[in-house]
A = this chain, B = another copy of it.
Amino acid sequence: MAILVGADTRLVVQGITGREGSFHATRNRDYGTDVVAGVTPGKAGQEVNGIPVFDTVADAVRERGANTAMVFVPPRFAADAIYEAVDSGVGTVICITEGIPAHDMLQLYPYVRARGATLLGPNCPGALSPGAANVGIIPAQVFGHGRIGLVSRSGTLTYQIGKELADAGLGNSTIVGIGGDPIVGLSFIDVLERFEADPETDLVVMVGEIGGDEEEKAAAYIGEHMSTPVVAYIAGFQAPPGKTMGHAGAIISGSAGTAQAKKEALEGRGVRVGRSPTEAAQLAAEAFAQLG
């Protein structure tokens, strides 16, 4: 069953008539995802490579039973698109759009939570359950089906790790890119929790990077709540110092947010951390082999 997306996903693509929207909607459909509808206001009745287009998400839900939405609209209209999807009863919203103002998300998130919906992203590559469904821009050909869950803040780095795993002969249950924006829907912990509960996931690879304290929090969560083994990779040991966010950032996290600090937090909870994507994949292969 994997997590977030799978065989029961019925996808509506918001912004389907745009260049990227139509390209990736078609690509997701061609992969095998059940892309049941697209939405672009004013274009109801059209088709995009055979996918019917509606004016509103509510219509797509009513006419086509959509239960998952992928948001591909420009950043200024993305918050509205997410509100519309959630208000229309869509349970899972995956927002690919990059460049959404953080205050829009700050305002939006409690609504998503209050309605019991799941939001992945924004500014994320989406989620892929190999062999079942691909929702987003993850290049699916890289990934094979298997029993390793993969979660990452970074898009392209996700693909890199996925490829390294594939090269090491390992496949994935689901690959989830949570996005690196200041306010995102699912966090590392939310996804780890789902992998922990997923019978098709035997091992998790977590891919973090410098900044914030999400990896530190995830380390604590892994230590306290997970029986599924986790292997990690952290990017940014050589990175130039990023935005400091005044003193406030450091005060909030109580952490330097450095790659080294994250690595130590994870290792302190028994999580092995690779020094390169290649090494992380090797560690995963070793851990997977030990599962018997």
Contact = CB atoms under 8 A, between A and B. Distances in A.
Nearest to A110: B114
Interface string A101-142: 000000000100010000000000000000000000000000
Give the number of copies in the complex.
Answer: 2
A86 to B, nearest CB: 14
A175 B141 CA distance: 68
| 2 nearest A-B residue pairs (beta carbon) | A114-B114, A110-B114
Nearest to A114: B114
Interface residues of A, number: 2
A110 B113 CA distance: 13
Interface of A: 110, 114
Contacts of A110: 114
Contacts of A114: 110, 114
A149 to B, nearest CB: 31
A46 to B, nearest CB: 35
2 contacts: A110-B114, A114-B114
A110 B115 CA distance: 12
A110 B110 CA distance: 11
A195 B110 CA distance: 32
A83 to B, nearest CB: 14
A274 B114 CA distance: 42
A114 to B, nearest CB: 6
A81 B110 CA distance: 22
A166 to B, nearest CB: 43
A110 B114 CA distance: 9
A49 B114 CA distance: 42
A82 to B, nearest CB: 18
A117 to B, nearest CB: 14
A188 B175 CA distance: 49
A193 to B, nearest CB: 21
A278 B204 CA distance: 72
Nearest to A113: B114
A99 B114 CA distance: 29
A144 B110 CA distance: 45
A74 to B, nearest CB: 29
Nearest to A111: B110
